[in-house]
Structure 1
Amino acid sequence: MHQQRKTIALLIFLVIVWGINWPLSKIALHYAPPLLFAGIRTVIAGIILIFAALPKWKKLDFKRLWPVYLISAFLSIVFYYGFQTIGLQYVPSGLFSAIVFLQPVLLGIFAWIWLGESMYGLKLAGLLLGFLGVASLSIGGFNGSISVQGIVLALASALSWAFATVYTKRNAARVDMLWMTAMQIMIGGIILLSAGSVTESWADITWNAAFILNTLFISVFVIALGWMVYFNLIKNGEAGRVGSFTFLIPLISIGSSVVLLHEQITLNLVIGLLLIVSSIVLVNVRISRRTLRRPTH
């Protein structure tokens, strides 16, 4: 029971901070080029996590595990945040996050193919409902121009995140999860910062309070703590089941985007909410059945 409460608390934290990340990132992009912004926030998060991991120095084993750290850095950080930060310039933040959260559907399928997780009728129906919920959020959900380039970047972001989660789960037994998270974020951040330094100008960054506070919040809570919580949940539970709860994140993103960026709510968003809640119930219902069927002694 204690473990269950802890898991629920971690999921609530993750859904909230990852949800408000989208409008906060959109605001920060008014003051900085995308790759430099992505690099700055991930390098800060990487430094925080490395300091947190230092007491477990011997578990780093960089000489043997560097290929794992590097591949994970590209999938989880370079591709995911690179596509995300550039794509947010083309479409509203709530809409972009909704498209990215096709990820749980992809993750449920990939976890079935590569992780051997079960795929049964209710789970498949739940994943499909989640996808329909995201589609409902995307189609006509917001006013403003909808860029094909932005949608493609959102889908690419979803794919890279799903592959990253499966790759991390497959290698979880080989690595210390704190060092895995710290290394992928630090390596990915350095790559993004280097790319930004070559293709963008540091002089284009406006170092005002809005940019600094948003960047620090995203670095500490969204990236450093967020990824650490996410990968620990993935390591200790079914990747597909944990991923299903991330369907809730676009709802937080949409709500905070309405408040912070004045993006508008429509009927599509309400329908999307109902589909997403139904999705989470269906993906998790088998666990409840097993509990109910457990014999008493």
Structure 2
Amino acid sequence: MQQRKKNIALLIFLVIVWGINWPLSKIALAYAPPLLFAGIRTVIAGVILIVAALPKRKALHFSKLWPVYLTSAFLSIVFYYGFQTIGLQYMPSGLFSAIVFLQPVLLGIFAWIWLGERMYGMKMFGLLLGFLGVAALSIGGFTGSISALGVGLALASALSWALATVYTKRNAVRVDMLWMTAMQIMIGGVILLAAGSAVESWSDITWNSAFIVNTLFISVFVIALGWMVYFKLINEGEASKVGSFTFLIPLISIGSSVVLLNERITLNLVVGMLLIVSSIILVNVKIGRAARRLTS
């Protein structure tokens, strides 16, 4: 019971910080090119996590596990953030985010195929409702221009995130989770920073308080602590159940955007919220012999 309460608290933290990440990132992007911004915030998070992991330096085993760290870095950081950053230039952000949050549906399917997690009709229906809820929240995106390249990059972003989660859980017994998180973020951040330095200009960054504060908040809470909490929960519980709660992130994002960016609350928000809550209940409730608990 104590562990379950702890996991619920971690989930609440994760959903909140990953939700407010979207408007905070939008504010910060007004002062910096996208790839450099992505690289800066990720490298800062990587440094923080490496410092935190140093007392367990013997568990790094870099010469043996570097292929795992590198693969995870590309899936979780380079591809996920890279496709996301580039794709947003080609289509409305609402539609793009709706496609990206197809990830929990993909994760539920991949976890069933590769992790041996249960899949039953009610669970699949719940995952579908969650995606429909995200789509309802982001329906305004459909009124803008739609690019085939943008759709492809959004799907690639969702796919890389789902594959990264399954890959991490499959390798959880081989690696120390803190070092796994630190290495993938640091390696991915360096690659993003190098790419940004090659195609963008550092002189385009405006180092004002809004950019610095938002970047530091995202680096510490959204990336460093956020990814560490996410993979801890994935490692301890069913990936598809933890993934289902990420459907709440667009809801938090819209709510925080109303406060920070003066965006309007619409009927889509109410409909999306009801679908998302229904999704989480269906994915996590005990149906027949399906396990209700979050952790194993």
The aligned counterpart of 1:295 is: none
Cα-to-partner distance string for 1:114-167 (whole Å, 9 max, x where unaligned) = 111110111111111112112222323x69734425444332211111010010
The aligned counterpart of 1:40 is: 40
Distance 1:159 1:39 in 2: 21
Q: CA deviation at 1:96?
A: 3.9
Aligned AA (1:268): N
Distance 2:53 2:287 in 1: 34
Distance 2:115 2:181 in 1: 20
Q: CA deviation at 1:222?
A: 0.2
The aligned counterpart of 1:15 is: 15
Q: CA deviation at 1:278?
A: 0.3
Per the alignment, do residues 56 and 178 of structure 1 end up closer, same or farther by CA in structure 2, a change over 3 Å counting? same
Q: CA deviation at 1:87?
A: 3.3
The aligned counterpart of 2:262 is: 262
Name the stretch that deviates more: 264-273 or 35-44: 264-273
Is the 1:60–1:179 Cα contact (8 Å) retained in structure 2? Answer: yes
Cα-to-partner distance string for 1:163-195 (whole Å, 9 max, x where unaligned) = 100100110110000000000000000000000
The aligned counterpart of 2:136 is: 136
Distance 1:268 1:118 in 2: 32
Alignment of 1:219-230 (within 5 A): 219-230=219-230
Aligned AA (2:84): Q
Alignment of 1:1-297 (within 5 A): 1-89=1-89, 96-140=96-140, 145-148=144-147, 149-286=149-286
Is the 2:137–2:251 Cα contact (8 Å) retained in structure 1? Answer: no
Distance 1:121 1:287 in 2: 10
Q: CA deviation at 1:95?
A: 5.0
Distance 2:139 2:163 in 1: 25
Structure 1-normalised TM-score? 0.92
Q: CA deviation at 1:280?
A: 0.3
Distance 2:95 2:288 in 1: 33
Is the 1:78–1:192 Cα contact (8 Å) retained in structure 2? Answer: yes
**What value does the CA root-mean-square deviation take over the aligned residues?**
2.0
Aligned AA (1:260): L
Q: CA deviation at 1:270?
A: 1.5
Aligned AA (1:269): L
Name the stretch that deviates more: 22-31 or 181-190: 22-31
Distance 2:139 2:68 in 1: 38
Distance 1:200 1:284 in 2: 44
Name the stretch that deviates more: 53-62 or 153-162: 153-162
Q: CA deviation at 1:261?
A: 2.0
Query: Which sections of structure 2, spanning at least 5 residues, go unmatched?
Result: none
Is the 2:122–2:287 Cα contact (8 Å) retained in structure 1? Answer: no
Distance 2:267 2:254 in 1: 13
Name the stretch that deviates more: 145-154 or 249-258: 145-154
Identical pairs, percent = 82
Q: CA deviation at 1:84?
A: 2.0
Is the 2:41–2:219 Cα contact (8 Å) retained in structure 1? Answer: yes
Cα-to-partner distance string for 1:37-91 (whole Å, 9 max, x where unaligned) = 0000000000000000000001000011000000000000001111222334455
Per the alignment, do residues 144 and 256 of structure 1 end up closer, same or farther by CA in structure 2, a change over 3 Å counting? farther
Per the alignment, do residues 131 and 68 of structure 1 end up closer, same or farther by CA in structure 2, a change over 3 Å counting? same
SS of residue in 2 equivalent to 1:286: coil
Structure 2-normalised TM-score? 0.93
Query: Which sections of structure 1, spanning at least 5 residues, go unmatched?
Result: 293-297
Is the 2:233–2:242 Cα contact (8 Å) retained in structure 1? Answer: yes
SS of residue in 2 equivalent to 1:107: helix
Is the 1:97–1:253 Cα contact (8 Å) retained in structure 2? Answer: no
Cα-to-partner distance string for 1:206-252 (whole Å, 9 max, x where unaligned) = 11111111100000000000000000000000000000011111100
